[in-house]
Structure 1
Amino acid sequence: MHLAILVTNTDLSDFAHRHPFDAEKFETMVHSVRPDWTCTAFRVHLDEFPPSLAPFDGIIITGSPASVHDTDPWVGRLLEVIRNTTLPLFGACYGHQAIALALGGTVGDNPHGWSLGLKRSDVVDPQPWMAGLGGSYRQFAAHKEQVTALPDGAQTITSADGVPCAGFVMGRRVYTTQNHPEISPAFFEALLAEFGPSFGADVAAAAKASMTGQDDNLAYAESIAAFFEQAVKGERYTR
């Protein structure tokens, strides 16, 4: 399996340079469950797009502090890629929102403000590739926008406190999460230490208090791999 990772994270701060960039985070996530798969990353936020999608079996779209409503040219180009591709798509956070917006849904402000911390998502419509997740799972969240209406043909599969659509599917070809399956506890702790004040004292304190127990990143990574396997096995794609 060869996946294209479309990196949308616009953070190029000193903090970002002290930690693995998203391309490495997502590749590590994939290799935690499928070490023989190949991942090729493209920094689409710097207008580095794949010259062709022909070599790839699927696409991962990462998270970002950017908004899907931004007018930067790369955002519009990414939405066009989403609309035009026939490859299976997985999106996390920004990727989740971008897929929804590109395919006819809407994205708006979270009325509760920032969702930040180790958050539980409840599985409301389990898909076959999600068998290992059980009825709920925990991932790190860091967002203040969310999907407010789904595209035609999409269905919500997970919900969270204050986030009615924490993930959706479109048939067997689209799978998303509003959260961050690639973020480790160590990275999130560093993120809070660096940027906590910018979220607000109460939000940062609640996020820090949420970091008890275990995330379900490994089980969720397995669900992503199983999603791509069933999509590629079950469909023929025109490239």
Structure 2
Amino acid sequence: MKIGILMTGHPPDTLLEDGLYDTYFERLLDGHGFGFEGWPVCDGIFPDTVEAADGWLITGSKHGAYEDHDWIPPLEDFIRAAHAARRPMIGVCFGHQIIAQAMGGRVEKFAGGWAIGRTEYNIAGQTMAVNAWHQDQVVMKPDSAEVFASNAFCENAGLVYGDRMWTIQPHPEYGSDFIDGLIRTRGKALVPPALLEDACQRLDQPTDRMAVADMMAAFFKKERA
């Protein structure tokens, strides 16, 4: 099964030695038998058609889904086209948000502030820890979506749209090393110091990122009519 990865941003320059965001998901989903191809849609480079891959994954980004970028409207069109063509799609962080927006939901810069580092969620009835890095949230889910992950800070942390789309707000592709890198680079200019320090204190605590990866792989592989 070929997974097309739509990159909606790039890592900070100081963290590029580990690759672009498609590489992070290739490592996360390694061992599940997938092939991969990446398209940097944030640079205006899109697949020719939704049939270019068997399933699609939209990455995180430093950008907001509600911002005025030339590549956002065609990305929303692509999301709706993939949904209509019954091509399974997964969205992570920005990917989670842009899918919700394309499908009729609303994304905002959350008044409650940031979620940074290891964060616990109720995911499908289980308490699971995943690394987070966001202020924007889906504040109104689309009518077609059901919530499968949430916590007190982020009500719509995971959304599923039947058997066509599965999206999650935190970052299973981020290990503690990348969160540490973000704290040292982008975080200093954006996030209150107390939140960064608290996240630093949790860097060595385990997460359930690989269990979430298994959920993602199972969604791509599930039987569909």
TM-score interval, smaller chain: over 0.9
Asked if 1:234 is matched to 2:224, the reply is yes
Q: Residue in 1 aligned with 2:137?
A: 146
Contact 1:122 1:160 in 2 (8 A): yes
Matched, 1:164 2:155: yes
Q: Normalised by the size of structure 1, how large is the TM-score?
A: 0.88
Q: What letter is aligned with 1:71? A: D
Q: TM-score, normalised by structure 2?
A: 0.93
**Letter matched to residue 104 of structure 1:** G
Q: In the aligned structure 2, how far is the partner of 1:26 from the partner of 1:177? A: 14
2:176 and 2:204 in contact (8 A); partners too: no
Equivalence for 1:63: 60
CA contact 1:10–1:66 (8 Å) conserved in 2 = no
User: For 1:39-188, what aligned pairs fall within 5 Å after superposition?
Assistant: 39-85=36-82, 86=85, 87-123=87-123, 126=124, 135-188=126-179
What is the deviation of 1:160?
2.0
Shift of 1:10: 4.3
* 1:190 maps onto 2:181 in alignment: yes
What is the rounded CA distance, in whole Å, between the counterparts of 1:226 and 1:234 in structure 2?
12
1:172 positional shift: 1.2
Q: Which has the higher contact order (CA 8 A, sep 6+)?
A: 1
Q: Which runs of 5+ in 2 are unaligned?
A: none
Counterpart Cα distance in 1 of 2:186 and 2:64? 18
Whether 1:17 aligns to 2:37 is no
How far does residue 41 in structure 1 lie from its aligned partner after superposition?
Answer: 0.4
**Structure 1: which 4+ aligned runs deviate by more than 4 Å?**
none
Moved more, 76-85 or 92-101: 76-85
Deviations 1:127-171 (A, max 9, x none): xxxxxxx61211111111100111112111110231111111011
Q: Report the secondary structure of 2:166's partner residue.
A: strand
Contact kept, 8 Å, 2:10 with 2:21, in 1: the verdict is: no
Q: Which blocks of at least 5 consecutive residues in structure 1 are unaligned?
A: 127-133
1:195 to partner: Cα distance:
3.1
The count of corresponding residues between Structure 1 and Structure 2 is: 221
Whether the 8 Å contact between 2:66 and 2:108 is mirrored in structure 1 is no
Q: Distance in 1 between matches of 2:132 and 2:217?
A: 21
